[in-house]
Each structure stands twice: as structure tokens, then as C-alpha cells.
Amino acid sequence: MQGNATDGYVITEDFVTAMLEEFRQQRTIHKRFAFEIVRQAHSLFRSLASLVDVTIPEDKHFTVCGDIHGQFYDLLNIWKLNGLPSADNPYLFNGDFVDRGSFSCEVIFALLAFKLLYPEHMHLTRGNHESKSMNKVYGFDGEVKAKYNGTMVDCFRELFCALPLAYCLNGRVLVLHGGLFSQDGVTLDDIRRTNRFREPPEDGVMCDALWADPSPLPGRTPSKRGVGLSFGADVTRSFLDANGLDLLVRSHEVKEEGYEVEHDGRLITVFSAPNYCDQMGNKGAFVRFNGNDMVPHFTTFSAVPHPDVKPMAYANAFLMGM
């Protein structure tokens, strides 16, 4: 990082490269830099709408990744396969960056640093695990306290409450973490107007965007998760048609091949944490769009080795047993 007395620190490409190498070697960055990354990223996300419109030029491409869940070494592998984020290689990471995997600090700092380096070309959606209640149970709080300190936990709480809920690509593809809504008639403007600067509520547009899942059954049915809902192909079709959209891309669920196309080809689930929690045996995937046609192209990949730190190493066993 480069710094001066008036502007604080400026993230540089050299700093990010060095930081990734420190993380790969299982070292942390200095707390001063860590706090600065979170502070600057929070300020940047606060300035965005709850639904962000992204334009992909006709001669450019754009990559969407699903859940990473603290699997830092698999994140590095995505960037090895598909290139690091840059002005010519933009990315959207669709929520659930942290929890379960025990390298969540490394994942979130890497993503935030690239956001600061390329603010127009690196995009992050909030997932249901970017929340206080999930972080307390599934490991992120414990990991942040172990690697940094308790104050940093509070800083991440505020940061997560500033993350956008959805992105619309070229006015044709909507990307959000969970799924569609418990009521008919929700518009893109309704998502734009949603107050996201809070912990996720138990119902409404924000809750559904973070928690809902597609279902093979028509209509709306209760969710197996106990929060959000399951929605059928008819709900997907009616929402997309009413909002002039072609496709919904979401994440939130493990898929054996890393992705699944459902609802008559109009809904894609993409999940980017291969061999989830070191035990599921699934592949990871990412989706790439070209601006000229916005047709999805899938790349699947397998897990890579990581240091011998088990998933959930920092989880709260007491809370999990409740």
C-alpha cells in the first residue's frame, strides 16, 4: 500500500500480489492494512444502490462465481484458470464468501482488495452468510478474532450490511444470491429501493433475495431451510418476463457439477466451492458471459489441496449444538 497523511492508503497492484502470497503462505497482513481495506471498501459499497446495473461492452466478457465459503486455495485456482480480476477481466462474486471454510479472512480480504483496485470491474453480492447470526455460528467470527481481533468483527458487520443485494447485467441477466420473492409483482425498482443497511430480516424482498431456492414444483412452497421460500418455474418465468429479463443467476446451493440449469433454461445456479467442506465431492463452476450475446458459458473445476486446517475449525460448537 502507498500512503500519505491526507488520503490514507491507496491499494496498488503490487500490494495485492504480495498480500495474496502472504495468505498462500498462511500468514496474515498487518492489522493497519486490514482495517484500511475494510474501511475503504465499506465507503465504496455504501455509495452503491441495492441493485447495481452493470454494462458489459459487446467485445468484452464477464465472469460470475458462486459461493466460495472460505476456500481460499480454490479461489486462487479460479484466478489461475480464468485470470485475475482486472479492467479487461471483470468478475462478480455472488455472496457467501465466508463461513465454513477456514480461510474466510483470506477470501474476503482478497475480494475486497480487488474491489478497491478495480471498483468498476469487481463486484460482490451479499449472501445469507454475510450476516451476524451466521458468522457467529459457522466460523467467520471466530476466525477473525483468532487472526485479527474483535473490533475487526464489528467492522465486517458494518461492511456486510453495505453489500448490494443484486446486479443486473446488460439489462438482461439478474444475479442475486438466493432467489425470487414471496409475492408477485416485485420489480427491479423494488429491489433498488430496498433498505439493505441492516441485518437480514425474516421476510420480505431482502430475505428472499438472500435465502430463496428454486423448486421443481410450481408456485411457491415452504423452504426446507425454514427461512425464505421455494419457487417454481412459473414464478421465475413471470418475474423475468414482467421485468424484461432473459435469465436469473443465483448461487446458495451445492451442485454436483458446480452448476445447474433449471426452470426451462431461465435459471442458473452456480456454486464455486469444490469438494465443499472437504466432504461433498462436488465440482465448482463459474459462468462467463460475452457482452455481444449474453449466452452463459460454464467452466467446471475440481478442488485443489489446501493446508491442513479443517473446515469449521473456528466454528462455535456450542451455538451449533443449540
Does residue 129 have an active-site annotation? yes
Catalytic residue among 69, 123, 129, 263: 129
User: Cα 116 from chain centroid?
Assistant: 16
Contact 52, 192 (CB under 8 A): no
- SS3 of residue 38 by DSSP: helix
List the grid coordinates of 229. Answer: 421460500
Q: Cα-flanking dihedrals φ and ψ of residue 268, to 5°?
A: -120, 130
On the CB side of 118, CA atoms within 13 Å amount to: 18
What b/e sequence results for 169-195 when a residue is b if at least 16 CB atoms lie within 10 Å of its CB, and e otherwise?
A: bbeebbbbbbbbbbeeebebeebbebe
156 CB-near residues (< 8 Å, 6+ apart): 38, 108, 135, 140, 144
Alpha carbons 261 and 104: distance in angstroms, whole number? 28
Alpha carbons 142 and 101: distance in angstroms, whole number? 12
Q: So which residues are the catalytic ones?
A: 129
